[in-house]
Amino acid sequence: MNEDFTYEYLPWRGVDKTTFQFYDVRTKIDSTGKPIELGFKYPNDSFKVRSFAEKSFRSVGDISRAGLFGRNKFSAGSHKYVTITEGELDALSLYQVLRSPVVSVRSSSSAVMDCTADRSWLNAFERVYLCFDGDGPGREAAARVARLFDYNKVYDVKFPGGDRKDANDYLRAGDVDTLRNLWSNARKYLPETIVSDLGTFKEILSGKPQRGVPWPWPTIDYMTYGIRKGETVLITAPEGVGKTEVCHALEYQFLKKTQDAVSAIYIEEPKKRHLQALAGLELRQPVHLPDCDVGGDKIYAALQSVVGQDDRLHLYSHFGSDDPDVILDTIRFCVASRACGYVILDHISMVVSGLASKAATDALDYLSTRLEMMVKELDFALILVSHVNDEGLTRGSRNISKVADIRVDLHRDVLSDDPIKRLTTDLLIGKNRYCGRTGYAGSLLFDPQTYTLNEAANDNGPTMVEQLVA
C-alpha cells in the first residue's frame, strides 16, 4: 500500500459520512489532506472512480459485468420497494432521504445491461421505482428499463430537468422535502402512447409498408403478407394433427431468414427432441429416429448452421407452475433483455393445465390478453398454439382467438384410409386483421422420409397462389 494516501469516509455534496460508509464509498486523500478521488465499490469488487480535479471517471476491475451499484447492500425482496437511479451519488442521496433500498446503473447507456444482470433481484420487490435523470438520455433509459418488468410494478419518478435533474441536485440544495415528495408522488410508469402533433403523424406514416418474414409455404404467405412483428399468429387444431411440426418449420424459417434472436417455448417437448427437429430440417432427415444413420457430430454441425451463434436461440424449460405471470415474465425477459424478435409458445393450454376448469378459463383469459398487449408494447411476433374442442373453439378460453391478429386452423384426416390424406394438412385462415384475406390457404404434405412439410401440388394445373391472384 502506498502510504502517501489514505482512504476515508467523508461527507460530500450533501451526502453524509454514514451514508458513504453504508455503501462503502471512500475518498482517496493525499499526504496534504486534499481529496483526490471518490471510489464507488460495486458488488463484484470493481470500482467506478471519480476524479475531483478533472471531474472525470475511470473504472478498476471488470465493471462491465458488475450489475447494479449497491445491490449487495440489500437482500432480494427485503423491502416492498426498490429504487433505481442513473448515478451512484444519486443512489446515496436518495437512500439518505428514504432509508429504503436504492441502487444505481453505471450510466443511461448501460442501464438495460446493468438491470438485466440483476433482473431477478429487482423483480423480487413489489415495486420498482425508476429515478433517472430528467434529461433526454435519462427518459430514454427509463423507458428501456421499464420494458424489463410488468408495467403494473414499475413507478416513474419524474424530475423537472434544468438545475434539478437528479436526486443529488435536490440534496445539495437542501430541498429534501421536495425530493421525498417527488418519490412519494410517483405514478405507475406509462409508455408514451398518446401523440397528437402532425409531425409525429408524418413520421408514423413515413416509409413503404413492408412484408413480414415469409411463411415457408407460398399460398399462406400470399394471403398474409408474411409474419410481422407486433402481431400474434394463432395456430389451432385438434390434438395430434401436427401443430408442433408447423411450429418447427416456422422457427427454422425465423432462424434462417432473419438475424433476430428467437424464443422457443415448447412445453410438451424435451429440449433434445426440439434441437433434433431443427437439425433434421437442415439435413432433411429424421435424426431423432433410431434407424436414421446420422452421427452426433453431423447433427450438431447442422444445428450450428441453423442457430448461427450463442444467445440466438433461447429454449425454455417447463416451469412446473400454473401461474400465468411466470410465462409472461419469461417472454418479457426474452424480448426486452435478450432481443428476441420472434416467440413461439406451444401451447397455451398447458400453462394452466393444473388448474380447475373455472380458474383455468380465467387464467387463460388473463394470459391471452396480456400476451397480446405485450406483443404490441414490445413489438415482437408471437406464434401461439392452442387446441380446439369439437366445435372448433379454442380450448379453455374463447378469448385466445379474439386477441389474435391472424388465426390459422389446421385440419387433417388422421384416420383416413387414403395414406396421402393422412399425411396432408389443410390450412384455413379464419381471421386476418392485416389484409382481410381468409379461407383456404393451401395444403401441406408431410414427407416421412425427410420429416418436412411441403405445399401440396394442385392437380388442376396452376398453383393455388396463381388461382388466387387470377
Chain segment 312-358, per-residue pLDDT in tens? 999 987 655 567 888 999 999 999 999 999 999 998 888 877 676 78
- Identify the helix (H) or strand (E) that includes residue 302: helix 296-307
Q: Are residues 226 and 169 in the same domain?
A: no
Query: Do 52 and 99 form a contact (C-beta atoms < 8 A)?
Result: no
- The predicted model gives 420-429 an average pLDDT of 95
The total of structural domains in the chain comes to 2
308 and 423 assigned to the same domain: yes
Confidence of residue 460 (pLDDT cuts 50, 70, 90): very low
What's the rounded Cα separation, in Å, for the pair 27 and 243? 63
Between residues 321 and 72, the one the model is more confident about: 72
Of 255, 298, 257, nearest to 276 by C-alpha is 298
Which of 188, 210, 234 is the C-terminal boundary of a domain? 188
Assess whether 149 and 248 both reside in one domain. no
Lowest mean pLDDT among 8-22, 232-246, 354-368, 423-437: 354-368
User: What DSSP line would sit under 391-452, residue for residue?
Assistant: TSPBTT-THHHHH-SEEEEEE--TT-SSHHHHTEEEEEEEEETTT---EEEEEEEEETTTTE
110 and 257 co-located in one domain: no
Q: What is the pLDDT of residue 3?
A: 63
pLDDT at 352: 77
Residue 203 lies in a domain: no
**Residue 380 within any structural domain of the chain:** yes
Say whether pLDDT at 470 is over 60.
no
Q: Please name the residue ranges forming H helices in 104-135.
A: 111-117, 119-123
Using pLDDT thresholds of 50, 70 and 90, give the confidence band for residue 118: very high
HSE-CB at 466 with a 13 A cutoff on CA atoms is 6
- What strands, in cross-sheet order, belong to the sheet with 6-8? 6-8, 26-29, 35-41, 47-51, 57-60
Instruction: Specify whether the CB–CB gap between 134 and 76 falls below 8 A.
Output: no
Residue 26 lies in a domain: yes
**Of 188, 209, 228, which marks where a domain is finished?**
188
CATH number of the domain residue 139 falls in: 3.40.1360.10
451 is a domain residue: yes
Determine, yes or no, domain membership for 14: yes
Which DSSP helix (H) or strand (E) runs through 178?
helix 176-184
Residues 209-217, mean pLDDT to the nearest whole number: 93
Q: Are residues 110 and 224 in the same domain?
A: no
If asked whether residues 346 and 256 sit together in one domain, one would say: yes
Q: Does residue 60 sit in the same domain as residue 132?
A: yes
pLDDT tens digit sequence for 291-303: 988 888 999 999 9
What tens digit of pLDDT does each residue of 137-185 get? 888 999 999 999 998 899 999 888 677 889 999 999 999 999 999 999 9
In this prediction, what percent of the chain has a pLDDT beyond 90? Answer: 72
**Residue 461 pLDDT level (bands cut at 50, 70, 90):** very low
Does a structural domain hold residue 161? Answer: yes
Looking at the structure, do residues 289 and 360 belong to the same domain, yes or no? yes
Q: Provide the residue range defining the domain that includes 62.
A: 6-188
The confidence score (pLDDT) of residue 312 equals: 96
For 43-54, the pLDDT digits (tens) are 999 999 999 888
Whether residue 332 is contained in a domain is answered as: yes
Does 200 map to a domain?
no
Cell numbers describing residue 440? 383456404
We report the CATH number of the domain holding residue 293 as: 3.40.50.300
Q: Which of 138, 172, 188 is the last residue of a domain?
A: 188
Based on the fold, state whether residues 176 and 244 are members of the same structural domain. Answer: no
Query: And the C-alpha cell for 130?
Result: 425508476
* Claim to verify: residue 94 and residue 152 sit in the same structural domain: yes
Query: Is 243 found in the same domain as 164?
Result: no
The amino acid sitting at 303 is: L
Q: Are residues 227 and 323 in the same domain?
A: yes
